[in-house]
Chains A and B, each alone.
Chain A
């Protein structure tokens, strides 16, 4: 009996740990199952389209799914576009027409988004940092005016634009398209970017101003006097993560924000960003661990052009470590 008890106790304790482990394992499996399910949902239509492009009519009607297993893929469709391997070097009018349209799309998309981000970022920065007054309208009303542009269903504008473009001789031109699309995406850009600028502590801007940067200098990443512009980014460095998400393109990822779980050593990526941007001499490997406070302090010491500034030395502790709570309090006051 006694021996049985001694045997039982450890297993008992172990089963507690085991249950927790089990639950954790179940949770993980659940997460990955859900991820896989949604990945399937997102990818299947794409898969279906790609495989169907290589089917002949019979394969489509028989509902064949997997290439090489239940049907033999065929370049028939691609050949008629002039894009299959055996016709890609031949001259093909169809392909040229297709690629022409493709090029049009690319030009329009790139042109419109560049323009929209440039104008939108400036507008958002202004709305977030300065007070305007236009007739009876203040910042809030202006933001809402921009938003209302977004509300407009595109059909409403179809005819007016036709008339306008005929007058301006913009009909059937890429520039006309670019302008039109800029107009339609601008509200989103302004809105999202303004939200983002609002979350950037204004103290950082003030610090930059103390360091002698004007509004433009605060906005754009800093040019170092020795000409070594270190960054490919073109806008307010702190807005970058969101910009990146807005455009869905990966800019040069110097310090991918909290992407990898478990690099919790640094509670926020933002200050890291700022640090790297401003302190030209620092790079990733030298970045001190620690939160905003450290980073801000370092930023301050560094001065905006990477050198020690003698004239305006502020007490480093005055650069507050801005927490979310402070920020919302700030906003409520405003």
Chain B
């Protein structure tokens, strides 16, 4: 169940199988690979992925802040926690309709109205490449910040209280306490959270497919959404699978290096 699909995928990655073709699949060696290396849209999507992945750090910072807020001495903690978790419970597709198609509608959407009220003449959210990328990222962050937050919160609550008390007794300011106690102690959890988040981010597709389907001019395209279009619109199964497999190899190399480097760093620090 887990292994067969991967192996089968590898075998069709080297065929010219197109669901619309009458001749069925035929082995064509490395042709797909050469085509991939010269495919500007694929590499464009790759660059977008790098940008999206870098945004994970911002998400992490916000999520950590929220976790700290929830861990502070506040009233009605359960209430806040449930409220903060609500976006996580919605499906990304629903979110892309709620936010992307409805709230960000450039004529009647509340965000457009607000932007006009601030003074933008013609707010449009998905026509400038960078603005479009930013809004896709905001939607994705809105769904997934709670996930990181809950991981961080679990980490914060598992933190031994004694260390914190000792630091307070020693007269550390809250700022020092955060940077010298909380942050280092939270590093392992942070790593887990960030890596999980990067992995999820690399699969980002549904929001893009629903809201922009890659536009404007491929500016918001993620690799997954590009592959999806290759499958669905062009029925190019062989080539699409090759794209996916290549992506998989890149991801595995990337994640392995990241894990190794980070864990070595971490070991040196502790």
Chain A interface residues toward B at CB < 8 A: 31-32, 34-35, 38-39, 41-43, 45-46, 48-49, 52, 60-63, 65, 144, 147-161, 163-164, 179, 183, 188, 191-192, 195, 199, 241-242, 245, 248, 257-262, 264, 267-268, 323-324, 328
Interface residues of B in 1-40 (CB under 8 A from A): 1-2, 4-6, 8-9, 12
Looking at A46, A183, A323, the one whose CB has the most chain B CB atoms below 10 A away is: A46
User: Is B203 within 8 A of A153, CB to CB?
Assistant: yes
User: Is A260 within 8 A of B77, CB to CB?
Assistant: yes
User: Is B12 within 8 A of A159, CB to CB?
Assistant: yes
User: Is A151 within 8 A of B228, CB to CB?
Assistant: no
Looking at B83, B159, B161, B248, the one whose CB has the most chain A CB atoms below 10 A away is: B83
CB-contact partner of A42 in B2, B69, B83, under 8 A: B83
B50 interface residue per 8 A CB criterion:
no
Which one, B53-61, B85-93, B128-136, B210-218, is touching chain A?
A: B85-93
Cβ of A179: which chain B residues have Cβ within 8 Å of it?
1
Contact A153:B227 (CB < 8 A) given known A42-B87, A159-B237, A164-B8? yes
Bits for B189-226, please: 1 = Cβ < 8 Å to A, else 0: 00010001001001101000000000000000001100
Chain B interface residues toward A at CB < 8 A: 1-2, 4-6, 8-9, 12, 65-66, 69, 72-74, 77-78, 80, 83-90, 95, 98-99, 102-103, 107-108, 110, 113, 142, 146, 150-151, 153-154, 157-163, 192, 196, 199, 202-203, 205, 223-224, 227-228, 231, 237, 240-241, 244-245, 247-248, 251-252, 255-256, 270
CA distance A308 to B231 in the complex (A): 66
CA distance A324 to B163 in the complex (A): 10
User: Is B228 within 8 A of A161, CB to CB?
Assistant: no
User: Is A156 within 8 A of B248, CB to CB?
Assistant: yes
Cβ of B251: which chain A residues have Cβ within 8 Å of it?
151, 153
CA distance A76 to B67 in the complex (A): 40
CA distance A34 to B62 in the complex (A): 11
Task: With both chains docked as a complex, state the minimum distance between the C-beta of A237 and any C-beta of chain B, in angstroms.
Answer: 16
User: Is A156 within 8 A of B162, CB to CB?
Assistant: no
Task: With both chains docked as a complex, state the minimum distance between the C-beta of B199 and any C-beta of chain A, in angstroms.
Answer: 6
